[in-house]
Every structure is written in structure tokens, then in C-alpha cells.
Structure 1
Amino acid sequence: MNLSNSRTVSDLSIYPDNSWIVGDKVFSSRLMLGTGKYKSIEVACKSIQKSQASIVTVAMRRLQNANNLPQDNLLYSLPWDILWLLPNTAGCTTADEAVRVASFGREICKRLGQETNTFVKLEVIPDSRHLFPDPVGTLKAAEYLVSKGYVVLPYIFPDPMLAKQLEELGCATVMPLGSPIGSGQGIKNLENIQAIIDRSAIPVVVDAGIGTASDAVKAMEIGSSAVLVNSAIAHANCPVSMANAMRLGVLSGRYASVAGRMKEYDRAIASSPSTGILP
């Protein structure tokens, strides 16, 4: 068998470019990680390292103030020369509160040496039971933050109309939930998320509800730009191994999305030729 003209696995051109852009910044990994719920700082750091994530999000309300951060805080344990901090407004129940916390996050970025970092993951969640985001409050806060030069990544219920409105306001991404925060139920809103992806000119990041690597694969297969994972890794029996599984899942789903799946048929199609068969 002549393989002289075949492309080998060493020819990296057969693989898609996995870099992507948020705002005007290029990131090499399409896996984003949260930093809550880990059993220890050591486990969190090892998991983040194994994931090879480029963007790490931290809830600003867990920090007291920019001038009095505890020295054992995870912020002091991560390599911010290679990671990009995404401050988030988790825990905020109103648009005004989210705006204040976003400003605080900006100061934290400066303190860590990321002077040009104006990113914010926008969460406005008044519902303490189901933790569904407030669409009106999110729109209000997003409009203000965009006008002030922030790179806004809003967390939303998978509503295609809301996603389009946020895009038109100037948000850098939209981040629809796959299922309720921390539930591990996987992607329960697949059709809505697909509709958002199909209509969006900005990156779509599936956030919340991912429970295992196959959920990350599915999110990427349908065309998501990235996924954000926290609980699925932090609550795994071995977080470091799950972080690696998520890394591979994102890559697998991305490759499948770019390759394009085969057409589905309603009957069996023989894989062997029906002609030229010896009698």
C-alpha cells in the first residue's frame, strides 16, 4: 500500500486552529475555568495547570477589597503572566451592584499586573433558588459597562433574542447556560443554544451545567466557541484528571465541528462496495 502521498498525524495542518478572539485579545485554549468549590488551593492550581486553560474566572464578591487580600488567596497562587483573569460579578442581584463589582474587578486586574485587562463576566442573579440570570438587569448593566470600555461577557438564559440584543449593545461574547449552575445536568437547552450560535457574530460560550467531558464535546460539536467549567472539575473524584478530560473533550468537539459530521440516513448504508465482488 502506497502511503507516500498520504498526510500523516505529524502534519499539524490537518487540525483546526484552536485559538479564538475575545474583544481584541487572542487566546490559545477554548476551555475556560472557574475557581470556586475546590477542596484546596493546591488542587485548584494543579487542575488549572492540567486543563491548559487560558482564561480563569474569579468571583470578586469573595474578595474583601483590593487593598486587603488574604495572602493564602488563590489569586496569589496562579501564574498571571500566562493566565488571563476574568473577574465575575457572581452574587450580584442588581445591575447597579454588578457595575460596582465590575469596577472592583478592574482594580484587582491592575494589582495583579494586568493593567490593560477590562474583561468582566457579567452576572445579575436575583433568584437565589434557581440561580437564573435577570435579563433586564443584565441588559442594563451590559449597556453601561460597554459604554465605559469594559469587555463584557454576559451570562444569560439561552434566549436567542436576548443574546442578539446583547451582541448589538457591543458585548464581546454571550454565555448561555447549558443547565442550572452547579447542577451537572449537561446541556438541556441544546436547540436554544444552537439558535444563538447560528445567529451570532460574536463568540458563544456555553456556561453552567456541564457535568462531564462528553457535555463539553457536545457544546463544541454544535459550534460553541468555548465552554466554561467549574463544578464538574472541582467536584470530581479526581479534579486533575477531570480537568484533563475537559481539555481533551473541548479539542475533540472542536475538531468534530470543523470536520463536519456525516449525513444521517434512515436506513443502513453498506460500507463495503456492492460491485466488483468475486462470485
Structure 2
Amino acid sequence: MTGTGKYRSIEEMQQSVIASGCEIVTVAVRRVQTKAPGHEGLAEALDWTKIWMLPNTAGCKTAEEAIRVARLGREMAKLLGQEDNNFVKLEVIPDLKYLLPDPIGTLEAAEQLVKEGFAVLPYINADPLLAKRLEEVGCATVMPLGSPIGSGQGIKNEANIQIIIENAGIPVVVDAGLATPSEASQAMEMGADAVLINSAIAGAKNPAAMARAMSLGVQAGRLANLAGRIPVKVYASASSPLSGTISD
């Protein structure tokens, strides 16, 4: 999954989405509706017959705001031809410095949106108990952060994300903080079902090239996970047999 924010131009965004090969693109409902800088014409810039729109509630500080914006996002998707699109990336972020999601507000909003028929994809801290609770109320996925949004710190919560993946009965998407293809690959090697990457692509010197690199990283990580890595050992293990060696 990729995002549509922070690009230097609409053209760079379009090129990057194509280069990434992604099938789901997230769009900030509020920024599109208000025609915020960099978002003018964004809704019309992509071919929504080929890409699934994931409206998000970016900019919402409370559960009530997020619920309202999610409803607007569903209507926006319908206007753009996706009549059966009930997806919403749920973000409830009152913290403007670190952009950390509010766990209580997120859970409250998720419960209501699920009741209204939304497929809820909540953005959360890497909290295994919250992830399980969101699964229990009917969320379609959980999206734990690797590190704070746009920070480029990579995966700082590996142990907790691993617990979430091991215990989840729904897909797990690592979202936020990833900066390099190796980090995207790491998330997939851990068993994540997907990653969502925006800042690392949009802020790169060559966004389209970085989008392609991220795509390859995701593919490599997924294949590695399916292949099954060798166990970690505290001692060496020769790759060639010790029998049949030449001796005096």
C-alpha cells in the first residue's frame, strides 16, 4: 500500500504509484475535500478502476471526528465509482508532536464504524492487547506503527509487532516509519501481510525509483517468509560435511 501525501507534485505521485505496483492507495479525506496544498486534483489524478481507494481519517483528533470523516470518505469513494468500497484507514491522533495514535479513541471509533458496515483498518501503536481487542470488535486489519510517522527510524517495535503477527487472526499491516527497502523486507520477513509506505517514497530524491525499490523489498521479504529461514544458532555449522576430507 502507498500514500498520496507529501509529494512535490501530482506527477511524481502518479509515477510512484505506478512504479510501486501497489493495488491500494490511501487518500486523506479532509485534505482532498479542503483542497489542501499538494492535494488539488488528487482524487482525479489516479485511475480508480485499477486502484482500490483507502480513505483515511488523517487530521482527526477525536473518535467523533474520525467517524464523521470516515462517512465522508465512503461517499467520496462512491462518487469516484467504487460503489462497494467501505474501507477506511482509521487514524485518531491528538498528539501533534509525535503523531502517536490515541488507543482509546481508536477503539471507540472502530466499534462504531464496524457497526456501520465499514471495513476498518486502524492505525495503532504496536500494542498486542489493543490489536487483539480491535480484532475482536470486527476490524479488517490492524496497522501497528514501525516507528513514528515520517520519522524514517525503521522498525523500533520489532518484538511487539512479532507478538501481534503471531496472535492475529486478521491481516497485519506495518505502517509508518519505514525508510528503506530493507526495512520493508524486514517487516514482510517477520510475517506481516503488507506494509504501507508514503513518506519514504514521497521524500526520496527519485520517488518513482524508491517506489520500485520498495516493491522489490516487499516481494523479497514475502518470499523469504514463505521459504522459511534457518534457525539462529550460537555456534558455527559447516556448510560442507566433515566426512571424506583429505588427510595425510
**Alignment TM class, shorter chain as reference:** over 0.9
Q: 1:48 aligns with which of 17, 22, 39?
A: 17
State how 1:30-179 maps to structure 2 within 5 Å.
32-64=1-33, 72-179=40-147
Q: Which residue of 1 aligns with 2:242?
A: 274
TM-score by length of 1: 0.86
**Per-residue deviation, residues 7-57 of structure 1 (Å, max 9, x unmatched):** xxxxxxxxxxxxxxxxxxxxxxxxx00100001000000000010000000
1:226 aligns with 2:194: yes
Residues 95, 239 of structure 1: CA spacing in aligned structure 2 closer, same or farther, 3 A cutoff?
same
Counterpart code for 1:235: G
Q: Secondary structure at the match of 1:115?
A: coil
In 1, Cα distance between equivalents of 2:221 and 2:210:
16
* Structure 1 residue 278 displacement after superposition: 3.4
Q: Could you tell me whether the CA contact under 8 Å between 2:32 and 2:40 is conserved in 1?
A: no
Q: Could you tell me whether the CA contact under 8 Å between 2:87 and 2:119 is conserved in 1?
A: yes
In 1, Cα distance between equivalents of 2:187 and 2:69:
29
TM-score by length of 2: 0.96
**Per-residue deviation, residues 188-218 of structure 1 (Å, max 9, x unmatched):** 0000000000110000000000011011011
Q: Secondary structure at the match of 2:43?
A: helix
Q: Secondary structure at the match of 1:242?
A: helix
Q: Could you tell me whether the CA contact under 8 Å between 2:145 and 2:176 is conserved in 1?
A: yes
* Structure 1 residue 79 displacement after superposition: 1.0
**Per-residue deviation, residues 74-94 of structure 1 (Å, max 9, x unmatched):** 211111111000000000000
Q: Secondary structure at the match of 1:163?
A: helix
**Per-residue deviation, residues 196-245 of structure 1 (Å, max 9, x unmatched):** 00110000000000011011011000000000000000011111110001
Q: Could you tell me whether the CA contact under 8 Å between 2:5 and 2:39 is conserved in 1?
A: no
In 1, Cα distance between equivalents of 2:52 and 2:96:
29
* Structure 1 residue 71 displacement after superposition: 10
Task: Give every structure 1 segment of 4 or more consecutive aligned residues whose post-TM-superposition deviation is greater than 2 Å.
Answer: 63-66
In 2, Cα distance between equivalents of 1:96 and 1:211:
32
Q: Secondary structure at the match of 2:151?
A: coil
Residues 177, 71 of structure 1: CA spacing in aligned structure 2 closer, same or farther, 3 A cutoff?
closer
Counterpart code for 2:5: G
Counterpart code for 1:36: G
**Per-residue deviation, residues 132-181 of structure 1 (Å, max 9, x unmatched):** 10011001100000000000000000100000000000000000000000
Alignment gaps of 5+ in structure 2? none
Identity of aligned residues (%): 61
Counterpart code for 2:59: G
* Structure 1 residue 72 displacement after superposition: 4.8
The alignment's C-alpha RMSD in Å is 1.4
Q: Could you tell me whether the CA contact under 8 Å between 2:30 and 2:59 is conserved in 1?
A: yes
Q: Which residue of 2 aligns with 1:21?
A: none
In 2, Cα distance between equivalents of 1:95 and 1:261:
41
Q: 1:214 aligns with which of 170, 182, 185?
A: 182
In 2, Cα distance between equivalents of 1:199 and 1:47:
33
Q: Which residue of 2 aligns with 1:29?
A: none
